[in-house]
Structure 1
Amino acid sequence: YLNSFSGPIWYVKTDGSDTEGTGSSSSPFASIQSAINFATTDGDSVNVAAGTYVENVNFRGRNIKVVGSDSSNTIIDGNQSGSVVLFNSGEDSTAILKKFTLKNGFASSTEVFLDMGGGVLCVGSSPTLSELIIANNSTTGWGGGIQIYESNAKLSNSTVRNNSTTWLGGGGMGIQGGNGSTPKITNVKIINNSSGSGGGGITCGGNTNPVLKNVLIMGNNVGSNNHGGGMEIGGAAA
């Protein structure tokens, strides 16, 4: 619909409206996706008030900032309906996601990118992710918490916990190369994740060159007869 408001700061609250709201501070949207849909100018910001938002968010190529009130009380619940947050349209480092809990995502083989990234999926995009709690997400394939594929994403000051995969690797985090991935992981806790295959905490596939700094990998596990409870490196230059 036609909107009289044009940003550059858009607002979201649980008691807002996606049908009558404009996205202004006095007339916020009810969903994060509605704000992203209207935030078409690079550098725009989406400010999300505390609360739980049951939705699956797609940045749609927007190089914008989406920021919650606080990572512990601003929650995006994926409702077991795919990746909680998706970056797959060439977003760069100025696409920022900050201060959220991302939970209850489930990526299965019926999804557009098959079974990758229950909490966050980065495909051919390199966003900046910080101050996140990525928890209680799952997938049948790679990256229960977060999957980084052909991506130079940055993840910092975050916790990846209690995520799982049932078939492939990377209960907490999967990093796969394809045409190359060089993500930077800094000040991150990867704890109590599980994988049906290798890499209970992290799995790094071929043609990847991840840089890990001050990363705690603890309490992760894999299924029987598999390997890399904490971290699996298969052809990566970690």
Structure 2
Amino acid sequence: MLRRLGLWAIWVSFLVYVLGFAPPLPADTLQPLQTLLSGQIPWINPVLISIFSMIGIWILIYSCLVFADGRMQSLPAWAFILASAGSGVLALIPYLALREPNDKFSGSKDGWLALLDSHTTGFILTFSTLVLLGFALFFGDWGGFLHEFQTNKFVHGMSLAFCLFTLLFPYPTLLQDDMGRRGLTHDSQLFRWVAWVPLFGPLLYLCVRPPLLARRS
């Protein structure tokens, strides 16, 4: 109950803050799209491109846990993940709050689950993250990003959403249950790495976790 209340409180607080207290949307928010439609390539700060892309990485990281978890839930996990592609963390938090703790997995893995369960997927996501970080660090305008964060609602909310993806990964029982399905215990050294190392902890977990242990229901 406390877990659910905490998640709903985070969801409501984030929504209220972004809608009511975050910086406004500037008048030229759609300028890059207009420039692209005119046949020119707009300049967008590489930091913004990287953060936006890494939110997609986060959604894929959660997908590698949520789709297997959804097999044992009454909730349509795919619907929440699909919605998160458009709304980010706002669609994911309700799933984390509504799901029931369950560390079992029954039946066989279909092709989609096998892909999400593969170490290759973890390696690809890790490599992609390193490329995006390098792109932001070496080519990004961090002063410009700070200005956008302080004055642009979209950039402000996107950056906070990235932080929420990071903070929530070890908080709900989603991670503990995924480890339980694989014969791992939540008090292991692996859990501490996953829980306390932002972004790269979860990526490491996807690269080294044992395959799903199918059990009869």
Larger Rg: 2
Structure 1 length as normaliser, TM-score?
A: 0.22
More strand by share: 1
Structure 2 length as normaliser, TM-score?
A: 0.23
Greater RCO, CA 8 A, separation 6+: 2
